[in-house]
Structure 1
């Protein structure tokens, strides 16, 4: 490289993206980010044009969850940037690694209340690990490099770069693109005491969180627990890190947890919370026990012994341990594995949602499942048997309606050889349905199941229980099959219990977009937890 050669900031940013292994980004162009789009146009990086910025960030989120890597999304200033907020908050709550780049009005117009000028970095600050308000091209380059360094070596979540339009076009010295920022390793603390406790435990339990996935520690975890015969429960986003049909897997713990996982949480003499937050929902599955909490994020540590480390590093340190015989403990837990089955054998018309969802899941065991938010979410979580990491993808921490459809786009593009099944309610589907255009354009093999109860079902259920009756929850729905057809996507409507399984299997064989509307009983509620 010639010393002193100059390059446009936008070109430098794109080069760094490529060097960091980014092959695909999601976005929606606008005036203040056009210089970056021009640089993208000249690069091998693929851009997926989503139909709404919220769709772009949810798609990047799904892509990240399905790959275990970083998702990237782009938007312009003002309305474009603020349309990302829902999805960025979703990723923040679930610690999903995202790089969010927004354009902004040029520096000479900032702070003058000009067209589309809002304090974007300040808006994103509470829902990101870092929100950088870039002022100079050199700063844009250094902050992007720093973002990748942090996401590769530190705690995960969204990082936001806000870059004015004129900064994209200004030049920087090419030498700034060379080299990587040096990562200073932070020593682990609390490790020795944790290891001693683990060696003396007779009834240990590991609660695995998404940090196991983000640190690339899934195989390490599986090898460790199988070698030492340690039972594993998981938080929502970590389901499948040990296949849920494995003898050592107890499934989800906490508010919607399995009986086996919650019995283990109540009876364990030691819990190792590995790469997870101990949220209020997870804590519902734990009794009075000693907790070793392992996490890179010091702010979430709340165990009796706290170990600041990523999951992979901690598992490497544990490899030298010699555990007590856990045979008696495992036999005790085995008695609870078959308990608490959800009844699904209904022949009613309209279909019971639990039967419909069970048949969808049973007929699509080889597919990746994406779940939206609503009453159907509970049935999917209770009935799914997740056999691989990210085999079930949904937003457990924030739960926005409308997440599922754009997230399925990201999942499908991340795992192009796999079919993707989306389970979504009639309410959530209508929040982001414009992304059908992307599914159709790219011919993604996504099978969309709309669970249609013609209302906001879970809200109606809360209203009936606590607020004197339903109000503003009935939905005047469109013809969903005809709507899909308008986007050149085939579909059909299912009304009878004996129709669904065969149609699911037929749709999966097609390897192309397909929509199945499943009409279910509007009066069938979900088992509600003891919270309001």
Structure 2
């Protein structure tokens, strides 16, 4: 017997699906009809009303990344939708499932100079997995279900569904139960080509990407690395997937690879990549396998495979593929000599960082590496670090200056390195993380871009601790300008008086720490304040010369390197002598 369900409006139908899917939190800034808010009134679904659609999309993405579920972002039409585009680009590049529900111009008013009219589908289509517009009330239910199906199935990613103005009122009828999400077969068979490469390798490396986020709870990747005797690396977005206290973990690949890991990269005879598109930062420089070394790639999506490298490809879910390899390989012993090389590289990186921290301890000023070391000692083991990708917050990408052991977490921007993403996304991460401490490690440029929604977090009691590295502007661009040695240029990306703008709100705690002696106490207080549901802002003034190893050698985007530019003048204590 068919039972029909009547909804008062399309937004009530959309909320009905949210409740069915157990969606607990929605982010956005809805259109003028406010139909979504009316539909949410009688439910327990939490609506985070943001001040900026960019912040809403970033938060929804952060929430999805941390929770492992599909995020939801609701916005209006026209400029409201264009404000979301950067977030869509970030979500697509990170492979994050987010459903964007947007308003749209009524069919009868298209091409008639309607208010906020914009042909939105062509605009969003290149940035999403799937995009559609509801052109008839009967199409709403199946398209809502299709949106969630597409966002979370296969290789995840953002989707877009437009609900035009003429459909925002009027009853919607559902004549069947809500559809269930599809079941996914967990077992796969190992392929001969992959097994041949694995059996022939004596010096393997396992590289784990962000596509494995939330797919390694049982430690299957570490067990596989143990079985074949592989060194373990991750991409930036793959951090938090594997236990970085594992004895075979040697850091990140590419741009962020420790110099001490060089012998591993130079001598490996097989690179196994799982859940990575092998973006440019992951393959850059000496932190990657030498030309000609076979690369065995595993990815859910063929579009995520690199065709620039020799080797073999396996289309499938990474954990299932790795499990099939372990079953097929048996228990042959791994190469003991290679294990020794890997262990020596890991120990070398740890020793180098310990020595560097010892040197910095003799300095009178506070350095970023010391901030991270203090945070490591002070924050609870289950902390989650949310990062930007600026000149100085990039220190956290360099193992072992920052280490993510089992139980801790990491959220970073994609290879797009979208400015402001980590600052806003931290709110969504915290809402998904519950009682776990969330620390956003950001620059002042990123913080300023989305500071309006820091007040949003305060109003909702979302306790994030922001460690804001204040170098008074856009440090990366200034460093590029300085590299070219033109001290007489009239252009600057830093400002003499760029004070940090922190929202004045009772639920915002803010302090400035410029001295090394007071940082640990201030950090402890910030963690305490954020645990009470307050937004804590710990502002740390820095000089622009405090940059991670090797970063100052880059010239703009990849793969250039500054080889002819004179060095930035520095004083004996390390401060740069350019005028600020």
Separation in structure 2 between the aligned mates of residue 132 and residue 78 of structure 1, nearest angstrom? 16
Q: Are residue 316 (structure 1) and residue 323 (structure 2) matched?
A: yes
Q: Counterparts in 2 of 1:22-33, with a 5 A limit?
A: 22-31=23-32
Separation in structure 1 between the aligned mates of residue 214 and residue 136 of structure 2, nearest angstrom? 32
Contact 1:373 1:428 in 2 (8 A): no
Corresponding residue number in structure 2 for 1:154: 154
Q: Counterparts in 2 of 1:129-208, with a 5 A limit?
A: 129-180=129-180, 191-208=191-208
Deviation string, structure 1 residues 440-493 (Cα, Å, up to 9, x no partner): 21232211111112232221110011362462312355654x834445412221
In structure 2, the CA distance between the partners of 1:234 and 1:2, relative to structure 1 (3 Å rule), is same
Separation in structure 1 between the aligned mates of residue 183 and residue 124 of structure 2, nearest angstrom? 25
| Bigger mean CA offset, 8-17 vs 428-437 | 8-17
Question: SS at 1:69's partner residue?
Answer: coil
Question: SS at 1:294's partner residue?
Answer: strand
Separation in structure 1 between the aligned mates of residue 259 and residue 516 of structure 2, nearest angstrom? 29
Contact 1:437 1:487 in 2 (8 A): no
**TM-score normalised over the length of structure 1:** 0.92
Corresponding residue number in structure 2 for 1:119: 119
Q: Are residue 306 (structure 1) and residue 316 (structure 2) matched?
A: no
Deviation string, structure 1 residues 324-372 (Cα, Å, up to 9, x no partner): 5232211111111133434232454553333334433443253211112
Corresponding residue number in structure 1 for 2:559: none
User: Quick one: which of 432, 438, 462 aligns to 1:414?
Assistant: 432
Contact 1:79 1:116 in 2 (8 A): yes
What is the CA distance between 1:21 and its match in structure 2? 2.5
Q: Are residue 63 (structure 1) and residue 66 (structure 2) matched?
A: no
Contact 1:217 1:311 in 2 (8 A): no
In structure 2, the CA distance between the partners of 1:336 and 1:134, relative to structure 1 (3 Å rule), is same
Separation in structure 1 between the aligned mates of residue 260 and residue 19 of structure 2, nearest angstrom? 45
Q: Counterparts in 2 of 1:348-359, with a 5 A limit?
A: 348-359=363-374
Aligned residues: 530
Q: Counterparts in 2 of 1:240-255, with a 5 A limit?
A: 240-255=240-255
Contact 1:63 1:410 in 2 (8 A): yes
Corresponding residue number in structure 2 for 1:360: 375
Corresponding residue number in structure 1 for 2:80: 80
Corresponding residue number in structure 2 for 1:446: 464
Q: Are residue 297 (structure 1) and residue 320 (structure 2) matched?
A: no
Separation in structure 2 between the aligned mates of residue 140 and residue 91 of structure 1, nearest angstrom? 24
Contact 1:229 1:326 in 2 (8 A): yes
Residue ranges of structure 2 left out of the alignment (5+ in a row): 557-580
In structure 2, the CA distance between the partners of 1:183 and 1:135, relative to structure 1 (3 Å rule), is farther
| Bigger mean CA offset, 437-446 vs 236-245 | 437-446
User: Quick one: which of 266, 285, 289 aligns to 1:286?
Assistant: 289
Separation in structure 1 between the aligned mates of residue 119 and residue 224 of structure 2, nearest angstrom? 48
What is the CA distance between 1:129 and its match in structure 2? 1.1
Question: SS at 1:111's partner residue?
Answer: coil
Separation in structure 2 between the aligned mates of residue 390 and residue 531 of structure 1, nearest angstrom? 33
Separation in structure 2 between the aligned mates of residue 151 and residue 191 of structure 1, nearest angstrom? 29
Separation in structure 2 between the aligned mates of residue 161 and residue 186 of structure 1, nearest angstrom? 30
Contact 1:232 1:248 in 2 (8 A): yes
| Bigger mean CA offset, 144-153 vs 399-408 | 144-153
Corresponding residue number in structure 2 for 1:493: 512
Deviation string, structure 1 residues 64-96 (Cα, Å, up to 9, x no partner): 111222211111111211111111111111111
Corresponding residue number in structure 2 for 1:273: 273
What is the CA distance between 1:260 and its match in structure 2? 5.5
Contact 2:73 2:100 in 1 (8 A): yes
User: Quick one: which of 371, 375, 396 aligns to 2:414?
Assistant: 396
Separation in structure 1 between the aligned mates of residue 262 and residue 94 of structure 2, nearest angstrom? 22
Separation in structure 1 between the aligned mates of residue 188 and residue 133 of structure 2, nearest angstrom? 32
Contact 1:254 1:282 in 2 (8 A): yes
| Bigger mean CA offset, 141-150 vs 22-31 | 141-150
Corresponding residue number in structure 1 for 2:10: 9
Corresponding residue number in structure 2 for 1:128: 128
User: Quick one: which of 386, 397, 413 aligns to 1:381?
Assistant: 397
What is the CA distance between 1:436 and its match in structure 2? 1.9
Separation in structure 2 between the aligned mates of residue 179 and residue 353 of structure 1, nearest angstrom? 50
Contact 1:28 1:52 in 2 (8 A): yes
Residue ranges of structure 1 left out of the alignment (5+ in a row): none
Question: SS at 2:436's partner residue?
Answer: coil
Separation in structure 1 between the aligned mates of residue 246 and residue 422 of structure 2, nearest angstrom? 28
Separation in structure 2 between the aligned mates of residue 39 and residue 2 of structure 1, nearest angstrom? 25
What is the CA distance between 1:199 and its match in structure 2? 2.6
Deviation string, structure 1 residues 16-50 (Cα, Å, up to 9, x no partner): 22222311111112225x22332222322111111
What is the CA distance between 1:108 and its match in structure 2? 1.7
Contact 1:103 1:165 in 2 (8 A): yes
Q: Are residue 224 (structure 1) and residue 227 (structure 2) matched?
A: no
**TM-score normalised over the length of structure 2:** 0.84
Separation in structure 2 between the aligned mates of residue 423 and residue 187 of structure 1, nearest angstrom? 39
Q: Are residue 507 (structure 1) and residue 538 (structure 2) matched?
A: no
Separation in structure 2 between the aligned mates of residue 426 and residue 5 of structure 1, nearest angstrom? 50
Question: SS at 1:430's partner residue?
Answer: helix
Contact 1:137 1:168 in 2 (8 A): no
What is the CA distance between 1:173 and its match in structure 2? 3.2
Deviation string, structure 1 residues 242-275 (Cα, Å, up to 9, x no partner): 2112102222111111246554333222211111
Contact 2:266 2:289 in 1 (8 A): yes
Separation in structure 1 between the aligned mates of residue 386 and residue 5 of structure 2, nearest angstrom? 47
Separation in structure 2 between the aligned mates of residue 111 and residue 215 of structure 1, nearest angstrom? 47
Corresponding residue number in structure 1 for 2:565: none
